[in-house]
Structure 1
């Protein structure tokens, strides 16, 4: 048995295949269906790093014609959560505890969500808060959103 989280193993296998990124994305959206509402596409996944894109489409636009704030939050939670899932060892579990966000500018184009940890986490025998930092940029590379998702990470209970 490997200690590599299944999300990261799946990405490492599927992303090498034609249409593998779409297949990985579809599997994630089947597991957590709400994320399908923004029609994401994973681009990169590694320990402490995740990138996904969302094309601007009518279903996620607001009355001003930009990508809706909640769609941006949805993308942030997706990349932050999958990054955490790919990074937390199989001996531990995690759950989002809170999220703070800043809307920096109207998102008028397709967007890219980038998640990272500010420092490498150390997984011990005590629970701890792990901040996942997310930035969402527009097609020009300008930041439209910044957020921090606080993840609660703890060892799995012994059977």
Structure 2
């Protein structure tokens, strides 16, 4: 699979000191809402994305754990970035739906890992791409799972690009 522009950018930034932080800020500049969970990307490659969010007071619920919606934001972020970094040329994506399971209290820095459940391929027609996202606590225990359905379809006029 050829490198996508996003993968090239990630590789370029992460060669520099503080490159993971800088790449994370660039993604949040493009999609500002995700800055609300202060993510840091740790791994990005075709078919895999990992990022962390800190356990900060502003991300807590009334129980003092990381809020469920902060975990959903992390899931959508790593799922979307993984999808974008893995798409064949001429394809586009958008999230279509998400099913989540809260497995245990989320305490401490949370690490989200996104992987596709089926191969990501170029196609003449749109298709559903299920993306699995697991979120782990600092002890490596799974605290949350999401399956995000991405709608993947050809870009209009893709033969001209």
TM-score by length of 2: 0.94
Alignment RMSD: 1.0
CA distance in 1, matches of 2:18, 2:89: 27
CA distance in 2, matches of 1:39, 1:29: 9
Q: How does 1:121-140 map to 2 (within 5 A)?
A: 121-140=120-139
Question: What are the ranges of 5 or more consecutive residues in structure 1 without an aligned counterpart?
Answer: none
CA distance in 2, matches of 1:147, 1:90: 26
Aligned length: 157
2:14 aligns with 15
SS, match of residue 122 in structure 2: coil
Contact 1:83–1:116 at 8 Å: present in 2 too? yes
Contact 2:41–2:50 at 8 Å: present in 1 too? yes
Mean Cα displacement is larger for which, 3-12 or 105-114? 3-12
Measured after TM superposition, the shift of residue 117 of structure 1 is 1.1
TM-score by length of 1: 0.95
1:120 aligns with 2:119: yes
Contact 1:76–1:147 at 8 Å: present in 2 too? yes
